[in-house]
A = this chain, B = another copy of it.
C-alpha cells in the first residue's frame, strides 16, 4: 500500500488542486498513454481522427504537460540561471534582459537571483540552480573562489562568467575592457590639462575596481605624471563614503582639478558633490548614466555596453551547450568614451 493507493486522485496537500495527467487524458479519449504523448509533442504516426479525440480530451480537462516530469525523463531542462550582483542595479538590468532574449531564442527559461555582493550567497544560489539542473549558468562573481563549481562544470553545466573573471578555476568569461576604458578616460582628462586627478572606486576586492585603477595609473604614467595615494580611494560605494572622499580630495593645499569615478554609483554621488562645489571640477565617470547628457555640465563617461556583455555571454553559453568543447576563453569587449562636457572642463585656478 503506497501513499496514494487509497485515494487515487486526491493529492496529499488538499489545497493544491489536482491536475489532469496524460493518463487522465488517455482514459477520457479512450487511447493509450503514449498516443497522448505523441499528440502533445507533435510526433508523427497519429491519425487525424485519433488526434482530434485526444485534443478534445485535453481541452475538456484543461491538461497541461508537466515539464518537471519531462525534464526528469529527458535530462535537459531548457533553463539557465543568471546570478548577478543586484537585480535592481540599473547597470545590470539591460544585461539581464539581453540574457533573457538569447535564452528565449534558444527556447530556454531564465532563473535569476542576486548575490548582493556576498560570496556565500552567490555560492548558495549557484548551487541551488545546479540542483535544479539548469543547463547553464551565467555568473557575475561576488566571491573569488569558484572551485565549488568544478563538479558542476565537470558534470556538464555550461558556465560563463560576466563582468568579472572566475576565481581559481579556468572558465569562460566575458569582460569589458576596464583597464583600457579607465586609461582612456583618465587620458582624456590629462589631454585637457589636468595634472591632479582623483580616483574614487569600488573596494579593492572587486576585480573591475582594480583593473580600472590600473588604467588610471597607466594613463598617468603615459603622461609622466606622478601618482599620489591621497588622490586614490577604493572602498564601499556608499554615498557617505564617496562624498567624504570627494570632499577631501577637493580641499587641502593641492586639491584635485578633476575626478575619475569608478562606476555609476560613485559617479552619481560625485555629481551631487560637485554641484555644490564652488570651483568647477572636471569629471569622467565609468559607466553611462541615464540623463547624464542633461546635467550641467553634461557628464562625460566611459560607457560599457551592458546588453552586449549579456548577449555575448549568453551566446557563448549556448554555443557550449551545443557542444563547442574548446578551451575556456576570455572575451573582452571595448568601452566607449562619450565626451559631453564635464570631462572637457579646463583645470580651474586653485587658491
Contacts and interface: CB of A to CB of B under 8 A. Distances in A.
Contact of A75 (B16, B79, B154, B293): B16
Copies in the complex: 2
Interface in A46-72: 62, 64-69, 71-72
Prevailing SS type, chain A contact patch: mixed
A128 interface: yes
Interface stretch (A110-118, A165-173, A230-238): A110-118
A60 to B, nearest CB: 11
A96 B87 contact: yes
A43 interface: no
Contacts of A282: none
Given A104-B113, A112-B112, A290-B291, A17 B155 contact: yes
Interface size class of A (residues with CB under 8 A): 35 or more
B133 A66 contact: yes
Nearest to A320: B15
Nearest to A101: B114
Interface string A66-92: 111101100111010000001111101
Interface stretch (A219-227, A248-256, A268-276): A268-276
Given A75-B16, A90-B93, A129 B152 contact: no
A16 B156 contact: yes
B68 A133 contact: yes
> Most chain-B Cβ atoms within 10 A of its Cβ — which of A12, A71, A289?
A71
Interface of A: 11-13, 15-19, 62, 64-69, 71-72, 75-77, 79, 86-90, 92-94, 96-98, 100-101, 104, 109-114, 127-133, 151-152, 154-156, 268, 271-272, 275, 289-296, 307, 323, 325
13 contacts: A15-B323, A15-B325, A18-B155, A19-B156, A64-B130, A67-B131, A67-B133, A68-B132, A87-B96, A89-B93, A90-B290, A271-B294, A289-B291
